[in-house]
Amino acid sequence: MSAPPPYRGMAIRAGGLTGMVMVLFLALLARFYDLMVTRHAEFRAAARGQTSTSRQTMAFRGALRDRHGRNLALTRAWPSVAVDPSAIVPEDREAVAERLSATLGIPRRTVLEQLAKDSRFRWLSRQITDPRVLARLPALACGGVEVREELARSHPAGRVGAQLVGFTDVDGQGLSGLELVLDTVLAPRFGRQALLRDGKAGLMRPPVDEASPEPGRDGADVVLAMDLTIQTFVEEALDRVVAAWRPVSAVAVVLDPRNGDILALASRPTFDPGARRNVPAEATRIRAVTDSFEVGSTMKPLIAAAALDAGLVGVAETIDCTEDGSYKVGKRTLHDHHPLGRLSFPEVIVKSSNIGMAQIGQRLGIDRTYRLFRALGFGRTTGSGLPGEVPGKVTERARWTEAYTLASVSMGHEIAVTPLQFASAFSALVADGIIHRPRAILRIGDREIPPAPLRQVYGKDVTRNVMAPILARVVTEGTGTKAMVPGHVVGGKTGTAQVLSRGGVAGYVASFIGVAPMDEPRFTVFVLLDRPRRDQGTPYGGTCAAPCVGEILARCLGYAEIAPSRSTGDGRPEARARHAKGR
Amino acid sequence: MAMTPDALPPLAYGRAITWIAFSLTAIGVLMIYSASTFWGAAKFDDPAVFLKRQLVGVALGFAVFLLCARLPVSFWSRRAGLVLLSALALLALVLVAGSRFNGARRWIRFLGFGFQPTEFAKLAVVVWAAAIAVRKGPALSRFREGFIPAVLPVVAVCGLTLLEPDFGTCLFLGGLGMLVLILGGLRMSHLMTAGVALVAVVTVFMLTRFEYIRDRISFFAGEQESYQVRQAFIALGSGGLAGRGIGAGAGKLFFLPEVAGDFIFPSIGEEIGFLGVCLVVSLFMAFVWCGYRIARLALPFDRFAFLLGMGLTAWVGFQAVVNLAVVSGSAPTKGIALPFISYGSSSLVVCLAASGILLSVARAAEARRDAA
């Protein structure tokens, strides 16, 4: 042994110490192997869990546009301004308030109040649309002031078409009208952007390696059949007629009889879709489909044409409408407004004889009349797709009687129809007998919705050559003279139906349906007033609804640039006659 | 005649230690940069701020390394008392003029740089213990003449460290000093009676006095996993075998505490995986082995060089073990840096100084061996 004992002891201790350190390192490696390799999946998941998050990306709700692409409802991102009161020291409040108030155009005191709040976030001005304020916004940026984008629905047309367009809640969810029924197609799909979250959960950044897994998609734009200009005519006309006659409610429908397009649809009461708060449900209803009425005499041409079409009555035939103005059907006695004597077929309609119509109805019979109503779409929803549509009411086939049901429906009673159903049915009468499904929407996104002709209800010869001149006579010499439009041939029919209650006559439903131009119909306009005021006598369809229809038709014809047709002295449309000859 | 036939000359181990130290330093610089960019950007608006500061430490450390490599081993044995006194003075100074951080005074601000006296104290304790052990010789085994004068200064260093307070470093310094003294011939029985009693008293005192230590220990003892350790596990575990790639770790996104400092190793594990962990641990093991071989080869000629070499090696080795034990949840959180790698100029400079001294020891051993 060369090394002296103390050295040897030291060498052994040093070797032992070194060995111990090595063993500890190896033990730690084993520990790291366990943590890093064996439990890799567990901790990788934990890491992902605490670092990955996502943020909703902005996407826009689809716009609603009129048939010419004019915006009715659209979603845009508008800047909103908020403050973080905790980030602004009290000494700076005055100066900051001064600047914010000047930029945003809000009172300085309001800003100061918000700045005094013990909070990290207070809104100052939301969804700013004023272009002057918008121009000043970029200069606003400073500590404690935040500008963020908020989505908001705006309605450039305001109250025009309010019920049809509908409105949304603050989150962009459709609550009424087309906003409600088309919610799923209009609704945007918000995307999600993957983000990396850090341990302070404050800073966020897009991850280096991950693409956004769910891109957002804007909602589909929807093009309505509605024409904003015509809708505006209708709204203005309704405002006037409602001011004059103060009905419980009023409905106006404008259809294109050639294809069933709903060019305008309005009702009173109405609302402002931008107001969002305090909107009465009453005012949001599309009454043209949610309410049904007994329209009365306005119905008569639909029955008469069917009888004519079936050859059950001749155009030249005279019908005895009695000298005393009363007529018994079974046990029931019917009356005309005043005794009419013997009337030709056209005169029955022009003078709106109840007795005459009852006889024509008797000839048509229960079966045919019932089938006619089915063909015209009464008692069923039209399939317009508008929300809250009701089918109306047609008496069950088994319960029809000659004296009551048949006689009543011939005069437009005991049958309830929605204004849209009726306008659609009447359009068939003037559009070569073809009924179309009312079309509210022309296009959803890229998908065109074609017109939907449903069936031939009347023969073309009857509608063009017989019914058209009769309807024109109603306006030139009958009950609908107030719907006349100078220079144009307008056809139509009035109706005044009693609304009965327990105490007797509660009021009237006054309506008028007008069509123009009669030689090549472009517009079917139906206006219905539910219980207009009676203080100046009975509110007939011819006195309150007809002028309204006349006004709407006059403006529509001008807007559509339809040239006036020369008409003969007796109101017979020369243009129509020439047209008929040409065929 | 030779105790162990040795194929490699001492200087080979010295060169190896140099390269190991530089490799670990380089890994440290790279990983500090990777780990600290977000922190630096958030706190100082400069992603490279920690990199820059560490590079200053590297430059300083390299100079100190060269100096120590050239100083003869005897320099340390002759000035051991002065070295220890300087350490004590600096430790006292930090208690008076140190800057506070998290409730503890650990730094002395000097010319814009923070200096941590406890790091220097590690070197001082090793030098002092080696010197006193050699000076006392066989007397070291006697209680009054050997134990008391050798141990008291070490206890003084520990005491000042405890007052900062820095409980972990206090224990580490005490352990390191005792280790060198035991290697030098201190009797275990003396140490048992005095040392264990002292440590017990101090421990109880600390537990009642400093809540944060109590919390750390109760965290470790209890079922509850501390947030720090949990984050270390997540970082290490998500690294897997090969890691997520340098720069791609997520632990540094303000999840890992002290991500460039004491907890840099989880970030390394996350980014370069278990293979990287093996590399770093292997380098430390190689360092320990080379240090041991240098000391062992110096033993026949110079007991001081042996004790100094073993002390420095054990210091680096144990400090690495403790740090890795903490980040792997195997020991309570202590506040012990990973040698060469953790952010901090003081730690890096003294570690490079230790490497320089080991190289100097190797040179001396080589010279004596050639002479023999």
User: For the ranges A48-52, A72-76, A463-467, which has the lowest average pLDDT?
Assistant: A48-52
pLDDT for residue A418: 95
Chain A hits for B253, CB-CB cut-off 8 Å, are 51, 196-199, 203
Chain B hits for A6, CB-CB cut-off 8 Å, are 138, 185
pLDDT for residue B311: 96
Say which of A3, A18, A37 has its CB closest to residue B240. Answer: A37
In angstroms, the Cα distances linking B187 to A20, B23, B195, B302, B314 are 20, 38, 11, 21, 19
Query: What tens digit of pLDDT does each residue of B265-285 get?
Result: 999 999 999 999 999 999 999
Say which of A9, A22, A36 has its CB closest to residue B237. Answer: A36
User: For the ranges A451-455, B99-103, B293-297, which has the lowest average pLDDT?
Assistant: B99-103
Q: What is d(CA B198, CA B208) in angstroms, rounded to the nearest whole number? A: 16
In a domain, B2, yes or no: no
Chain A hits for B251, CB-CB cut-off 8 Å, are 47
User: For the ranges A391-400, A444-453, B131-140, B184-193, which has the lowest average pLDDT?
Assistant: B184-193
In angstroms, the Cα distances linking A539 to A237, A533, A535, B289, B329 are 17, 7, 9, 114, 92
For tokens 């290490």, name the residue: B236
* Of A551, A541, A547, A568, residue with least CA distance to A472: A568
Binding-face residues of B in 260-319 toward A, CB within 8 A: 269, 273-274, 277-278, 281, 284-285, 288-289, 292, 295-296, 299-300, 303, 306-307, 310, 313-314, 317-318
Total domains in chain B come to 1
Say which of B231, B236, B295 has its CB closest to residue A35. Answer: B236
Do A36 and B269 make contact, defined as CB atoms within 8 angstroms?
yes
Where b means 16+ CB within 10 Å and e means fewer, A144-173 reads bbbeeeebbbbbebebbbbbbbbbbeeebe
In a domain, B3, yes or no: no
* Mean pLDDT on B293-306: 93
* Of B318, B290, B348, B326, residue with least CA distance to B173: B318
Q: What is d(CA A529, CA A148) in angstroms, rounded to the nearest whole number? A: 48
pLDDT for residue B213: 61
Q: Which two tokens stand for residue A387?
A: 């929300």
- Whether ipTM > 0.90 holds is yes
pLDDT for residue A113: 87
Do A21 and B318 make contact, defined as CB atoms within 8 angstroms?
yes
Chain A hits for B269, CB-CB cut-off 8 Å, are 32, 36
Binding-face residues of B in 212-231 toward A, CB within 8 A: 231
Query: What tens digit of pLDDT does each residue of A4-53 get?
Result: 555 888 899 999 999 999 999 999 999 999 999 999 999 999 988 888 77
Say which of B274, B303, B307 has its CB closest to residue A32. Answer: B274
Q: Are strands B113-115 and A332-335 parallel, antiparallel or unpaired?
A: unpaired
CA distance B97 to chain A (A): 33
Query: What tens digit of pLDDT does each residue of A187-220 get?
Result: 988 887 777 777 775 556 666 555 556 778 889 9
For tokens 């989150």, name the residue: A171
* DSSP code for A271: -
Between these two residues, A544 and B251, which has the higher pLDDT value? A544
Q: What is d(CA B80, CA B124) in angstroms, rounded to the nearest whole number? A: 7
B49 close contact with A: CB closer than 8 A: no
CB A421 within 8 A of CB A373: no
User: For residue A336, which amino acid is it?
Assistant: D
What are phi and psi for residue B53, nearest 5 degrees? -65, -40
CA distance B30 to chain A (A): 20
* Mean pLDDT on A46-68: 86
User: For the ranges A174-178, B29-33, B257-261, which has the lowest average pLDDT?
Assistant: B257-261
For A301, the enclosing helix (H) or strand (E) is helix A300-309
Which residue, among A18, A25, A36, A40, would best test binding to B if mutated, counting the most B CBs under 10 Å from its CB? Answer: A36
Binding-face residues of B in 160-179 toward A, CB within 8 A: 179
CB B121 within 8 A of CB B161: yes
For tokens 């093991």, name the residue: B285
pLDDT for residue A485: 92
Q: What is d(CA B51, CA B30) in angstroms, rounded to the nearest whole number? A: 8
* Mean pLDDT on B288-316: 95
A44 close contact with B: CB closer than 8 A: yes
In the three-class reduction of DSSP (H, G, I as helix; E, B as strand; rest coil), residue A78 is classed as strand
What is the percentage of chain B residues whose pLDDT exceeds 70?
91
Do B238 and A7 make contact, defined as CB atoms within 8 angstroms?
no
What are phi and psi for residue A41, nearest 5 degrees? -60, -45
Size of interface A-B (CB pairs under 8 A): 146
Q: Which two tokens stand for residue A43?
A: 């901790």
Query: What tens digit of pLDDT does each residue of A268-326 get?
Result: 999 988 776 778 888 899 999 999 999 999 999 999 999 999 989 888 888 888 778 78
pLDDT for residue A576: 44
Nearest CA in chain B to A11: B296
Between these two residues, A80 and B290, which has the higher pLDDT value? B290
pLDDT for residue A153: 86
B332 close contact with A: CB closer than 8 A: no
CA-based torsion, B44, B47, B50, B52: positive or negative: negative
Largest CA distance in chain A: 157
What crossing angle do the helices spanning B10-44 and B264-298 adopt, rounded to 10°? 160
Chain A hits for B42, CB-CB cut-off 8 Å, are 203
Between these two residues, A139 and B154, which has the higher pLDDT value? B154
Do A37 and B250 make contact, defined as CB atoms within 8 angstroms?
no
User: For residue A549, which amino acid is it?
Assistant: V
Say which of B185, B274, B285 has its CB closest to residue A22. Answer: B285
Do A46 and B238 make contact, defined as CB atoms within 8 angstroms?
yes
Query: What tens digit of pLDDT does each residue of B322-360 get?
Result: 999 999 988 887 788 999 999 999 999 999 999 999 999
Do A11 and B285 make contact, defined as CB atoms within 8 angstroms?
no
Chain B hits for A21, CB-CB cut-off 8 Å, are 288, 314, 317-318, 321
Say which of B182, B273, B324 has its CB closest to residue A13. Answer: B182
Number of C-beta neighbours around residue B225 at 10 A: 13
Say which of B2, B296, B328 has its CB closest to residue A14. Answer: B296
In angstroms, the Cα distances linking A385 to A255, A388, A441, B125, B192 are 15, 9, 9, 91, 94
Question: Which domains, and CATH codes, for chain A?
Answer: 61-189+206-224 (3.90.1310.10), 228-272+288-582 (3.40.710.10)
pLDDT for residue A574: 47
Say which of A11, A40, A199 has its CB closest to residue B240. Answer: A40
Q: What is d(CA B103, CA B96) in angstroms, rounded to the nearest whole number? A: 14
In a domain, B5, yes or no: no
The answer, yes or no, to whether residue A234 has pLDDT greater than 50, is yes
Number of C-beta neighbours around residue B248 at 10 A: 13
Query: What tens digit of pLDDT does each residue of A95-118 get?
Result: 888 888 888 888 888 888 888 888
The answer, yes or no, to whether residue A580 has pLDDT greater than 70, is no
pLDDT for residue A325: 79
CB A356 within 8 A of CB A321: yes
Domain span holding position B78: 10-371
Which residue, among B234, B275, B294, B303, would best test binding to A if mutated, counting the most A CBs under 10 Å from its CB? Answer: B234
The answer, yes or no, to whether residue A567 has pLDDT greater than 60, is no
CA distance A213 to chain B (A): 20
Between these two residues, B171 and B197, which has the higher pLDDT value? B171
The answer, yes or no, to whether residue A76 has pLDDT greater than 70, is yes
At residue B251 the predicted structure's pLDDT band, cuts being 50, 70 and 90, is: confident
The answer, yes or no, to whether residue A396 has pLDDT greater than 80, is yes
Binding-face residues of A in 173-232 toward B, CB within 8 A: 196-200, 203, 208
What are phi and psi for residue A37, nearest 5 degrees? -105, -50
CA distance B197 to chain A (A): 24
Say which of A14, A33, A196 has its CB closest to residue B310. Answer: A14
Do B281 and A196 make contact, defined as CB atoms within 8 angstroms?
no
CB A511 within 8 A of CB A529: yes
Q: Would you call A3 exposed, middle or buried from its count of C-beta atoms within 10 A (0-12, 13-18, 19+)?
A: middle
The answer, yes or no, to whether residue A460 has pLDDT greater than 70, is yes
The answer, yes or no, to whether residue A583 has pLDDT greater than 60, is no
In the three-class reduction of DSSP (H, G, I as helix; E, B as strand; rest coil), residue A478 is classed as coil
Binding-face residues of B in 90-119 toward A, CB within 8 A: none
pLDDT for residue A209: 55
pLDDT for residue B223: 43
Query: What tens digit of pLDDT does each residue of B356-372 get?
Result: 999 999 999 999 888 76
The answer, yes or no, to whether residue B220 has pLDDT greater than 60, is no
* Mean pLDDT on A252-265: 95
CA distance B111 to chain A (A): 32
Number of C-beta neighbours around residue B7 at 10 A: 6
Do A40 and B330 make contact, defined as CB atoms within 8 angstroms?
no
Provide DSSP, B35-57: HHHHHHHHHHS-TTHHHHHHHHH
* Mean pLDDT on A342-363: 90
User: For residue A459, which amino acid is it?
Assistant: G
User: For residue A265, which amino acid is it?
Assistant: L
pLDDT for residue A326: 85
Query: What tens digit of pLDDT does each residue of B92-140 get?
Result: 998 888 777 666 777 887 766 778 999 999 999 999 999 999 988 888 8
pLDDT for residue A2: 47
pLDDT for residue B185: 82
Query: What tens digit of pLDDT does each residue of B12-58 get?
Result: 999 999 999 999 999 999 999 999 888 888 788 888 999 999 999 99
Nearest CA in chain A to B323: A28
At residue B216 the predicted structure's pLDDT band, cuts being 50, 70 and 90, is: low
Mean per-residue pLDDT over chain B, rounded: 87
Do A31 and B253 make contact, defined as CB atoms within 8 angstroms?
no
Binding-face residues of B in 132-151 toward A, CB within 8 A: 138
What are phi and psi for residue A20, nearest 5 degrees? -60, -45
Which residue, among B259, B324, B358, B361, would best test binding to A if mutated, counting the most A CBs under 10 Å from its CB? Answer: B324
Chain B hits for A28, CB-CB cut-off 8 Å, are 281, 321, 324-325, 328, 330
At residue A482 the predicted structure's pLDDT band, cuts being 50, 70 and 90, is: very high
pLDDT for residue A322: 79
pLDDT for residue A282: 86
Chain A hits for B274, CB-CB cut-off 8 Å, are 32-33, 36-37
Cα angle for residues A413, A418, A422 (degrees, 5° grid): 75
User: For the ranges A354-363, A430-439, A573-582, which has the lowest average pLDDT?
Assistant: A573-582
pLDDT for residue B206: 67
The answer, yes or no, to whether residue A405 has pLDDT greater than 80, is yes
CA distance B244 to chain A (A): 10
